[in-house]
């Protein structure tokens, strides 16, 4: 049995006011090619399909294209759970009818105990797949009347329900696979995940998943596993924050034998544009752009120059068209020095203005001009002091 595990597509996400839809289309096309090449028995998507509970029309359209390609053209079943960014109710629209065509949308907790059997060719063996849609403890209490108050207790309860259901089913001999969207304790987060609850109360123990043959996890955007390699996050399909600049994005290809033992292989995804952080002085960065074949990457630039620069963003964008964010740590240190005293402050402002003047005119201010500006600053500071 061969499964392809992915999660956290976040279709329709904006990043620094820029739509990532074309980047998502690009990487999902690659995934379709990988699915066609490796022909898994099913594709598992562990939540955060969309970025918002009410996704934009173009996002719905892209997901529709991708799913119909997998289910209809490639005739491979797809099992999806909702994540904390999705609306489970909306995702499970028409899910009963869609099951016929191999699309299993598990958005409601009540559907968790309606597992999907994936049989081998002879139908005598296979795996049983349970989707656990994202649910907070209150939801688990409401749906099952369970006495749980934390995410960890809720997950313990749900996993125990699954074990019991499996043992009583006609598939009791088959290995069990689960999909879950949760924060497994001890795993590494990144800046693009929205916390499930405040103050670390969202963590669940990896132990709950110990007895499943494979746990296809979603929510954390870096690929990783905890406890054992089969308790595994595939990671998001793209970098969704600069904190992920060193991540490698991939999908998991999982081979499971009849005993439930897994072999996991990571299949790399290559982005249309990478997300990187560049640090240095303006002139050096502009010069480096000439030999940079990936100048169109999405960039955060940290300028280390200590003086004021006129339209730094405009200058950088002429070399790197997709600079999304600019930081000026060089100016920041100067700012701290300036805080030491009024006189220092005035001097700092004068220096800043001098830099600005130089940028615009190409000349230093003469003594007359310097005097005028200092007098102006002086009077501005006096009026600040006025009650
Ligand atoms: Mn996510």
What DSSP line would sit under 192-257, residue for residue?
TSPPSSGGGTTEE-GGGGTTSSEEEEES-SS-EEESEEEEEE---SS--SGGGTT---EEEEEEE-
Distance from Cα 345 to the centre of ligand 1, integer Å:
45
**Backbone dihedral angles phi then psi of residue 124, each to the nearest 5 degrees:** -85, -25
Pairing of strands 224-226, 228-233: antiparallel
Distance from Cα 186 to the centre of ligand 1, integer Å:
17
- Could you read off the pLDDT of 60-92 as tens digits, one per residue? 999 999 999 999 999 999 999 999 999 988 998
Q: What is the mean pLDDT of the segment spanning 234-261? A: 96
pLDDT reading at 253 higher than 70: yes
Bridge-partner residues for 216, per DSSP? 179, 232
Distance from Cα 122 to the centre of ligand 1, integer Å:
37
Average pLDDT value over all residues in the chain: 92
C-alpha span between 31 and 65 (Å, rounded): 13
Distance from Cα 61 to the centre of ligand 1, integer Å:
20
Distance from Cα 85 to the centre of ligand 1, integer Å:
7
Distance from Cα 219 to the centre of ligand 1, integer Å:
4
Query: Residue 386 — pLDDT band, cuts 50, 70, 90?
Result: low
C-alpha span between 265 and 251 (Å, rounded): 8
Distance from Cα 135 to the centre of ligand 1, integer Å:
14
Distance from Cα 58 to the centre of ligand 1, integer Å:
19
Q: What is the mean pLDDT of the segment spanning 48-66? A: 95
Q: How confident is the model at residue 334, as a pLDDT? A: 47
* Residue 55 near residue 13, CB atoms below 8 Å: no
Distance from Cα 130 to the centre of ligand 1, integer Å:
20
Distance from Cα 236 to the centre of ligand 1, integer Å:
7
CATH superfamily of 2-268: Metallo-dependent phosphatases (3.60.21.10)
Q: What is the mean pLDDT of the segment spanning 194-222? A: 93
- Could you read off the pLDDT of 284-329 as tens digits, one per residue? 999 999 999 999 999 999 999 988 888 999 999 999 999 999 999 8
pTM summary value: 0.86
Q: How confident is the model at residue 234, as a pLDDT? A: 98
**Backbone dihedral angles phi then psi of residue 73, each to the nearest 5 degrees:** -65, -50
Provide DSSP, 181-207. E-EETTPPP-TTSPPSSGGGTTEE-GG
* Residue 84 near residue 110, CB atoms below 8 Å: no
Distance from Cα 181 to the centre of ligand 1, integer Å:
9
- Could you read off the pLDDT of 256-277 as tens digits, one per residue? 999 999 999 999 999 999 999 9
In the chain, % of residues over pLDDT 70: 95
- Could you read off the pLDDT of 317-358 as tens digits, one per residue? 999 999 999 999 877 554 444 445 566 566 678 888 887 787
The CA distances from residue 308 to 128, 264, 331, 336, 349, in Å, are 63, 52, 8, 15, 10
Q: Which of 222, 138, 228, 212 is nearest to 180 (CA)?
A: 212
Distance from Cα 241 to the centre of ligand 1, integer Å:
12
Distance from Cα 138 to the centre of ligand 1, integer Å:
21
Distance from Cα 324 to the centre of ligand 1, integer Å:
21
Q: How confident is the model at residue 335, as a pLDDT? A: 45
Distance from Cα 43 to the centre of ligand 1, integer Å:
18
User: What are the residue ranges spanned by the domains of the chain?
Assistant: 2-268, 275-382
Q: How confident is the model at residue 338, as a pLDDT? A: 46
Distance from Cα 48 to the centre of ligand 1, integer Å:
5
Distance from Cα 212 to the centre of ligand 1, integer Å:
23
Among positive and negative, which fits the CA dihedral 338, 339, 345, 349?
positive
Q: How confident is the model at residue 157, as a pLDDT? A: 97
3-state DSSP assignment of residue 348: helix
Distance from Cα 387 to the centre of ligand 1, integer Å:
51
Q: How confident is the model at residue 171, as a pLDDT? A: 95
Distance from Cα 125 to the centre of ligand 1, integer Å:
33
- Could you read off the pLDDT of 126-172 as tens digits, one per residue? 999 999 999 999 999 999 999 999 999 999 999 999 999 999 999 99
Distance from Cα 218 to the centre of ligand 1, integer Å:
7
Q: What six digits make up the tokens of 193? A: 């995940």
Distance from Cα 220 to the centre of ligand 1, integer Å:
6
Distance from Cα 303 to the centre of ligand 1, integer Å:
30
């Amino acid at each position: 049995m061969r499964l392809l595990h992915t999660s956290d597509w976040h279709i329709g996400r904006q990043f620094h006011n820029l739509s990532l839809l074309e980047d998502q289309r690009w990487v999902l096309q690659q995934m379709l090619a990988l699915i066609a090449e490796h022909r898994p028995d099913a594709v598992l998507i562990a939540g955060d399909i969309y970025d918002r509970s009410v996704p934009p029309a173009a996002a719905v359209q892209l997901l529709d294209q991708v799913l119909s390609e997998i289910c209809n053209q490639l005739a491979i079943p797809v099992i999806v759970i909702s994540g904390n960014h999705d609306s489970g109710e909306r995702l499970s629209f028409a899910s009963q009818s869609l099951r016929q065509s191999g699309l299993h949308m598990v958005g409601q907790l009540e559907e968790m105990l309606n597992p999907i059997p994936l049989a081998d060719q002879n139908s005598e063996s296979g795996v049983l797949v349970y989707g656990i849609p994202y649910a907070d403890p209150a939801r688990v209490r409401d749906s099952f009347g369970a006495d749980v108050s934390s995410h960890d207790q809720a997950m313990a309860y749900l996993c125990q329900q699954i074990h019991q259901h499996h043992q009583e089913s006609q598939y009791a001999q088959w290995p069990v696979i689960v999909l879950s969207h949760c924060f497994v304790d001890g795993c590494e987060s990144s800046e693009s995940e929205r916390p499930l609850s405040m103050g670390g109360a969202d963590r669940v123990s990896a132990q709950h998943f110990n007895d499943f043959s494979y746990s296809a996890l979603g929510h954390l955007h870096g690929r990783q596993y905890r406890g054992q390699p089969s308790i595994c996050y595939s990671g998001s399909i793209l970098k969704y924050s600069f904190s992920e600049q060193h991540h490698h994005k991939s999908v998991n290809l999982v081979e499971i034998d009849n005993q439930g033992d897994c072999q996991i292989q990571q299949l790399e995804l290559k982005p249309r544009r990478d997300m990187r952080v560049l640090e240095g002085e303006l002139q050096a960065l502009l010069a480096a752009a000439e030999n940079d074949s990936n100048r169109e990457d999405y960039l955060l630039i940290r300028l280390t120059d200590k003086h004021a620069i006129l339209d730094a963003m405009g200058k950088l964008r002429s070399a790197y068209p997709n600079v999304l964010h600019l930081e000026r740590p060089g100016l920041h240190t100067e700012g701290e020095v300036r805080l030491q005293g009024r006189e220092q402050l005035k001097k700092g402002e004068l220096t800043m203005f001098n830099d600005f003047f130089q940028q615009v005119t190409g000349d230093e201010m003469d003594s007359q001009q310097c005097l005028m500006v200092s007098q102006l600053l002086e009077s501005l500071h006096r009026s600040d002091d006025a009650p």
